[in-house]
């Protein structure tokens, strides 16, 4: 905000200079601890702006200095944005993990790999290193300060829940939340960090749109689902107005047989094997589902938060499909030159990004913010991070497939919080810069 000396009674130039410098410093310092890389910039700014003598030219000098800080912030942001934090390699991190299966109660049993006897622990000791810059390890105190008086919702399937539980465990070094869920249904959880007035919630919607079980068996004995491609899933679309951030994701459920409805009639399916129903393939339903979900968000007049697309995280079944004995037994990450995004993984990723860009353009017209948390490349390189058979006791009499979809906790999914925190920091920089430039 630009301030002028004639806004206060005359004869107060020195007091004005000092007061405004202090006020401005306090505003900046509210953000600075969270934007650790900018401390030096702000320190220099505050020192340089300490009043040395009364002056009648405060207005012009203050504006010039504010513009200088805005330029510094802008330059820093440009440098950071030039660095693609989502392109890089996994490198050893002997300091990890930052919690254990015994120290965090939030770990879902099926992802509690060390509890259930996984023999190797090296998969927990890697961190993501972008090619052109550093990505700081997640700082729970910084995150909670950034999220003070705010709210975050995870919208999607069990991998989204996997991400939320990873975040809860990482934050447990500072505080555990209390359960403030409005229902006993475990698919709709709400957690409150009382010391920070921060709410975190999850909304179960594996197809993102209105869907229902059509046949509990279906052609593959995994269910046949009716997807209403042009209808919102009101279980979450009616609940998110109050949230400051939502992280939306989905993918793995679209591999199962589906029947597609549009305008209340069947238009096709994916591997439904029903007579006189055209097989349009999974990509048709996947694209329409994201399109409808994004349209739902853009149609919400009272939702003023930020929508973050968390991109598809590939599975790593080898030597068979998930229901045909496929497994994931590797014990270290791939290098980026050892594998590539292709096939279903590439197609699902491209569909997400294409629909995201359409939604972002439309959202911008309506004053809505969309961002991408691009986990695809990083997780493509982590065939070692899945539970496989270590999601239950070996002696337990259960029928479970090897899990090469979800992620062990602790494990590589913890890096998603590294990404998220860095994104939030950049949003903070952008906000301060805009206030200085246009305030």
Active site residues: 158, 403, 406
Q: Give φ, ψ of 308 to 5 degrees.
A: -115, 120
Question: Cβ distance 374 to 311 under 8 Å?
Answer: yes
Residues 26 and 20: their CA atoms lie apart, in Å, by 10
Residues 238 and 65: their CA atoms lie apart, in Å, by 45
CA atoms within 13 A on the CB side of 207: 30
Helix (H, G, I), strand (E, B) or coil at 189: strand
First to last CA, the chain: 4
Residues 146 and 251: their CA atoms lie apart, in Å, by 29
Q: Give φ, ψ of 430 to 5 degrees.
A: -60, -40
Residue 33 CA: distances (Å) to CA of 36, 40, 73, 76: 6, 11, 15, 16
Question: Cβ distance 212 to 190 under 8 Å?
Answer: no
Name the residue with tokens 């996997």: 162
Residues 393 and 221: their CA atoms lie apart, in Å, by 25
Among residues 307, 371, 378, 288, which one has the least CA distance to residue 154? 307
Three-state secondary structure readout of 104-166: CCCCCHHHCCCCCCCCCCHHHCEEEEECCCCCCCCCHHHHHHHCCCCEEEEEECHHHHHHHHH
Among residues 425, 434, 435, which one has the least CA distance to residue 83? 425
Among residues 381, 166, 353, 208, which one has the least CA distance to residue 295? 208
Residues 231 and 351: their CA atoms lie apart, in Å, by 19
């Amino acid at each position: 905000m630009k301030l002028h000396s004639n806004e206060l009674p005359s004869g107060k130039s020195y007091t004005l200079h000092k007061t405004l410098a202090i006020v401005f410093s306090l505003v900046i310092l509210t953000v600075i601890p969270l934007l650790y890389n900018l401390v030096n910039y702000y320190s220099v700014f505050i020192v340089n702006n300490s009043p040395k003598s009364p002056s009648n030219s405060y207005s012009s000098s203050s504006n010039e200095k504010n513009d200088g800080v805005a330029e510094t912030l802008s330059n820093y942001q440009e440098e950071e944005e030039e660095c693609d934090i989502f392109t890089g390699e996994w490198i050893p991190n002997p300091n990890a993990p930052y919690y254990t299966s015994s120290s965090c109660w939030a770990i879902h049993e099926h992802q509690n790999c060390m509890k259930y006897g996984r023999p190797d622990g090296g998969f927990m000791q890697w961190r993501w290193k972008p090619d052109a810059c550093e990505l700081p390890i997640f700082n729970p105190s910084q995150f909670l300060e950034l999220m003070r008086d705010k709210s975050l919702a995870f919208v999607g399937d069990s991998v989204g829940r996997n991400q939320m539980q990873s975040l809860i465990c990482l934050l447990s070094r500072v505080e555990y939340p209390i359960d403030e869920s409005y229902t006993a249904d475990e698919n709709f959880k709400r957690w409150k960090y009382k010391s920070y007035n921060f709410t975190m919630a999850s909304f179960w919607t594996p197809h993102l749109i209105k869907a229902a079980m059509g046949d509990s068996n279906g052609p593959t004995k995994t269910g046949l689902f009716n997807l209403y491609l042009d209808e919102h899933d009101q279980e979450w679309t009616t609940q998110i107005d109050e949230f400051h951030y939502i992280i939306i994701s989905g993918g793995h459920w679209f591999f199962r047989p589906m029947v597609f409805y549009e305008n209340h009639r069947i238009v096709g399916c994916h591997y439904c094997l029903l007579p006189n129903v055209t097989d349009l393939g999974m990509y048709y339903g996947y694209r329409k589902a994201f399109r409808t979900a994004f349209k739902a968000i853009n149609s919400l007049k009272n939702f003023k938060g930020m929508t973050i697309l968390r991109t598809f995280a590939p599975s790593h079944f080898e030597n068979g499909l998930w229901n045909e004995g496929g497994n994931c037994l590797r014990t270290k990450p791939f290098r980026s030159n050892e594998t590539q995004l292709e096939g279903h993984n590439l197609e699902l990723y491209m569909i997400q990004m294409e629909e995201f860009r359409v939604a972002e353009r439309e959202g911008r017209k309506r004053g809505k913010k969309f961002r991408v948390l691009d986990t695809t490349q990083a997780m493509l390189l982590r065939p070692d991070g899945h539970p496989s058979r270590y999601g239950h006791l070996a002696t337990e009499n259960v029928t479970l497939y090897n899990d090469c979809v979800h992620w062990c906790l602790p494990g590589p999914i913890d890096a998603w919080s590294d990404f998220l925190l860095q994104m939030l920091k950049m949003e903070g920089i952008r906000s301060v810069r805009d206030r200085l430039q246009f305030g």
